[in-house]
Amino acid sequence: MAVVDSGVKTSRELDQTPTWAVAGVCAIIILISLALEKGLHKVGTWFTVKQKKALFEALEKVKAELMILGFISLLLTFSQYYIAEICIPVKVANTFLPCPLKYPAKSKLPGGARRLFSLERRILAGGKGAACKNGKVPLITVEGLHQLHILIFFMAVLHVIYSATTMGLGRLKIRGWKQWEEETLSPDYEVSNDPSRFRLSHETSFVRAHTSYWTKIPIFFYMGCFFRQFAKSVSKSDYLTLRNGFINVHLAPGSKFNFQRYIKRSLEDDFKTIVGVTPFLWASFVFFLFLNIDGWLTLFWASLIPPIIILSVGTKLQAIITRMALDISERHAVVQGMPLVEGSDKYFWFGKPKLLLQLIHFALFQNAFQITYFLWIMYKFELTSCFHDNFGLRIAKVVFGIGILFLCSYITLPLYALVAQMGTQLKRSIFDEHTSKALENWRKAALKNEQNI
C-alpha cells in the first residue's frame, strides 16, 4: 500500500519545475505577445499608408493605455508578497466588504475561520503568506492580488475590443451618408436648390420635418427630440441642410466640398479623444471600486449613469437641429434656395461643443467598466457568487450596456460629429493631410523667421 507523506509540498518553485515546462510556457507567452505587437504594427502601417493620421494617433493611444496596464500588472507582480505581508486588525478587515461576511468573528472554530480561509488562499496561490499575529489578517492576500491581475487583463482586452467596435460602428453610420454627398454633384440637385429660387420656409423639407405646433411647447419639444434619436437620427434633409450651412459660413457658397469625407475625418479626431483614459477616468474607476459595498448597490446605480448621459446628449443634439429649424421659420417667411442654418456655440450647453464629447467619453468608459467587471466576476467568482444576488438583473444590465454601446457608437457619436460642425470654431480636420502638413510647416517657418528677426 502506498503511503502518502503529508510533509510533501503540494506546490513547486522553479528550481523543482522541469525545464521543458518553463521553456514551453515562456515560448507560448512570447509568441502571443509578438503576434499582438506585430498585428498592431501592421494596423498602424495601414493607417499610415491610407493617410489616416487621426486613427494612427488613436492606435498609439491604445498602445499607451495597454502599456500602462502592463506596468500596473508588473508592479502588482513584484509587490504582491510585500503587500500581503501588511497586516490589519480583523475588525478593520471586516468593514466595507463587497459581499456578506462568510466567517464572522464570533466563529468558534479554533484559530478563527477567517485566518484559516486566508491561509488556504495563500497556499492555493503558491506563495508565501503573511505571518500575522493573532487578531490580524493580511491587507490583501496573494490570491486576491492575483484576482486583480485577472481584472487588469480583462480591462486590456475589452479596451481594444470596445475601441474597435466604437470606431467600426461610427464609420459604418457615416458611410451611409456617402450617397447623399454624391447626389450634391448631380444636375438635379443644383436645379432643386437653385439660389435664385424662392419658397416659403415652412414648405422646405427640413423646416417641415422639425417644426409643428407641438415643438413650441417645451415638454413636447424635448420629448420629440428624445424619441427622434431612435427613429431616424439623421435624415437626408438634415444632412443636406447642415452641409449647406457649413459651406456657406466657412467656405465659399456653392463650393464643391466633400462634406461627408470631412465628417469622417472629424469622427476620427473625436475617436482619438475617446480611446484615451484620463486621470479623471482612472479616479472614477477607483472610486466605484471603493464604493462597491455589500447592500449599497453601487454598481447598479453606476450602471445607470452611461444610459442617462448618452440619452441626454442624443436629445440635446436633436434639440440643436430642431432649434435651428425653428430659428429659420421665425427669421424668414421666405427662403432663397436651400434653408440656411446659422451655426453658433449658443446652441450647445454652456456654449461649449466639446463638453458633449467629454460626456460621451465618460459614459463610454463607465459602460466599458461595467461590462468588464461583470465578465471578470463571471470568470473568477462564477455566476452564483454573492456578486450576482439578483442574476436576472445583472444579465439585463449587461444586455442594456451592450445596447448603449451600439446606440452611442452608431447613433450618438456620428450625430455629434455632424452637429458639432455647427459651432463657431472651425475644426482642423477640414483640411486634408497634405494641406494640414503644409500649413504646419508654414507655421513653423513663420515662427522661425520671427525669432531670427
pLDDT for 429 beyond 80:
no
Q: Give me the residue label for grid cell 444632412.
A: 239
**Percentage of the chain with pLDDT > 90?**
11
Cβ neighbours for 361, distance < 8 A, ≥ 6 positions apart: 273, 274, 276, 281
Q: Side chain identity at 20, as an amino acid letter?
A: W
* pLDDT (0 to 100) of residue 341: 80
DSSP state of 130: P
With 0.85 as the threshold, say if the pTM is over it. Answer: no
d(CA 225, CA 342): 19
d(CA 165, CA 157): 12
Highest mean pLDDT among 247-256, 266-275, 330-339: 266-275
Kind of pairing, strands 198-200 and 136-138? unpaired
**Percentage of the chain with pLDDT > 70?**
79
- Range of weakest confidence among 121-130, 273-282, 349-358: 121-130
> 3-class SS at 335?
strand
Q: Is 2 exposed, middle or buried (0-12, 13-18, 19+ CB in 10 A)?
A: exposed
pLDDT for 117 beyond 80:
no
pLDDT tens-place string over residues 385-416: 777 666 677 777 788 888 899 999 999 999 99
Residue 199 Ramachandran class (φ > 0 left, ψ -120 to 50 alpha, else beta): beta
Q: Cell for 115?
A: 485566518
Highest mean pLDDT among 296-300, 324-328, 387-391, 432-436: 324-328
Q: Is 231 exposed, middle or buried (0-12, 13-18, 19+ CB in 10 A)?
A: exposed
pLDDT tens-place string over residues 214-238: 787 888 889 989 998 888 888 888 8
Tell me the residue ranges of DSSP E strands in 168-259.
198-200
pLDDT for 1 beyond 60:
no
pLDDT band of 379, cuts 50, 70, 90: confident
d(CA 48, CA 54): 10
- The phi, psi pair for 272, rounded to 5°, reads -60, -35
The H or E element spanning position 336 is strand 334-336
Q: Is 250 exposed, middle or buried (0-12, 13-18, 19+ CB in 10 A)?
A: middle
Cβ atoms of 138 and 87 closer than 8 Å? yes
* pLDDT (0 to 100) of residue 48: 85
* pLDDT (0 to 100) of residue 6: 46
d(CA 80, CA 71): 14
* pLDDT (0 to 100) of residue 388: 64
Q: Side chain identity at 108, as an amino acid letter?
A: K
| Dmax (CA) of the chain | 105
Q: Sign of the CA dihedral 326, 330, 331, 332? A: positive
Mean pLDDT of all residues in the chain? 79
Give strand pairing partners of 333: none
Cβ atoms of 182 and 236 closer than 8 Å? no
pLDDT band of 114, cuts 50, 70, 90: very low
pLDDT for 110 beyond 50:
no
pLDDT tens-place string over residues 263-316: 988 888 888 888 888 889 889 888 988 888 887 877 778 888 999 999 999 999
Q: Sign of the CA dihedral 233, 238, 240, 241? A: negative
DSSP state of 181: H
pLDDT for 384 beyond 60:
yes
Q: Cell for 75?
A: 508592479
The H or E element spanning position 137 is strand 136-138
Q: Give me the residue label for grid cell 507523506.
A: 5
